[in-house]
Structures are given as C-alpha cells and as structure tokens.
Structure 1
C-alpha cells in the first residue's frame, strides 16, 4: 500500500483516520509521520480512528501499540477510537497490549447508545474522553 495517511491538527489534537488496507508498508510511515507532527505542532493528544480497519495482523497490531507508546512519550495522549469487535478480539488473542492508549469511558450502557434511546438523546448518560477533561452531555 502506498497510500499516505493524513494527520490533521485540530486545536492541538492530531486526528488520524487509518485506512482499511493498513499493512506493514504503511504502518511504519504512519508512525514516523505522526511522531514528526507531534513534535512540529506540540500536540497534547492524538485521536487514531480505526473505523475502516476490519482485519488486523500481528505486525500492524503491535505497531499500533508502538505508535501509541511513542505518542505518549512525546506528550500527545493517544486515543484509539471506533475499534470493531473483531479487531479487538484479534488483538486480545494476539496478546497486543494497548496500555498507552486512552480508552473512552462511557457511562451509558451499549443498549442505550443504540436504537430508540440514542435517537432520544441518551437520557442519563454522558460520554467522557480520557484524553480530554471536558465532558459532553447530550
């Protein structure tokens, strides 16, 4: 894969949308680009969106862990978002540790975040992102 992954700066937080076909030829340049952008922008956080990733292998999984660790060491708290259950299961089976990745803390049960409850505004729940101190109340 020769696709370049864009790293956008929004208010001191870097946003990265990982393509579905992320492989070993793209994950290392992603790590290098993100690290360079953290230093250039003095970012205090980075959001890594893996919505499109349906399948992940050992190398890419471990490299995502390294990317998060490097970002954390450089002062940009990483937040990994939109992980599919199959990807999470694969990473767990492979033993990939994501200790340096902030995880969204959601106080509303999953059944309330979808269907009619979600359309009515998630009554009684809130969403807090560990990488950010501000809460969002629907």
Structure 2
C-alpha cells in the first residue's frame, strides 16, 4: 500500500536546490577592504562569501567583480588579520538578503538591516534579495526636456 501521495512529496522539494559550497585558500592580494582570489570556479556576481580566519573567527563578504578565474571580494567587517595561508573563503551560492516583515514599518535600521531604534528584532515573513531586479533598457522611458 502506497501511504504517500507523490505530488505532495515533490511539492515539498520544489524549492530545494543543491549548491556545493567550495572552500578556497587562493588569496592573491588584500587591498583595503578588498580581497582578490585566484583560481575561483564559477563565482557569481554579488554572491556572499564566508571568510574563516586562522583564529577561527568568521567574517562575511560579497563578490564585487569577476575577471576570468579571479574574483574581487569586499569584506564587510574589514580585512585586518586576513592572510593568504590560514584564511579559508567559502562561496555560499547565495546573495545578500534582507528579512522583511510588516512590523518593519516606522522602524529605523542600519545598513545591514539591524534595528537601531531599541526595538525588538524583526521576525521575518520573507527574505528578499537586496540587489533588486535588473533594468530592461528597452522598457526605460527616456527623460524629455
């Protein structure tokens, strides 16, 4: 006897994606808040990375530019302590998302989406990509003088 309805089971996994997380130790250079990685396979623009330093601390960054097998990553918490021997960089396969909820109306947040008005944390109803949708140049209305 088949106790499971296959349409119900497959609908549970419709949004499931397998994304390999690749760990790199190929830091070429560190300049200010930027880290340049070499021999990176399939990086995505605006992809979020986790940076694990030699002391075990973790920082986050975002891919700003891709040049062949090189990627330029901006580290959000600064690059002090990052070296090319003990630092691991993991590409998450995801972009920066912001928790969104109706209770955000009238609240104040910093640039990372953390409340700065002494209110409670936001209980997210959705997580939305902060990059938005690309502009279609054919749909653009040009300004008239």
The structure whose residues are more often helix, as a share, is 1
Q: TM class, shorter-chain normalised?
A: under 0.3
The structure whose residues are more often strand, as a share, is 2
Per the normalisation by structure 2, the TM-score is: 0.26
Bigger CA radius of gyration: 2
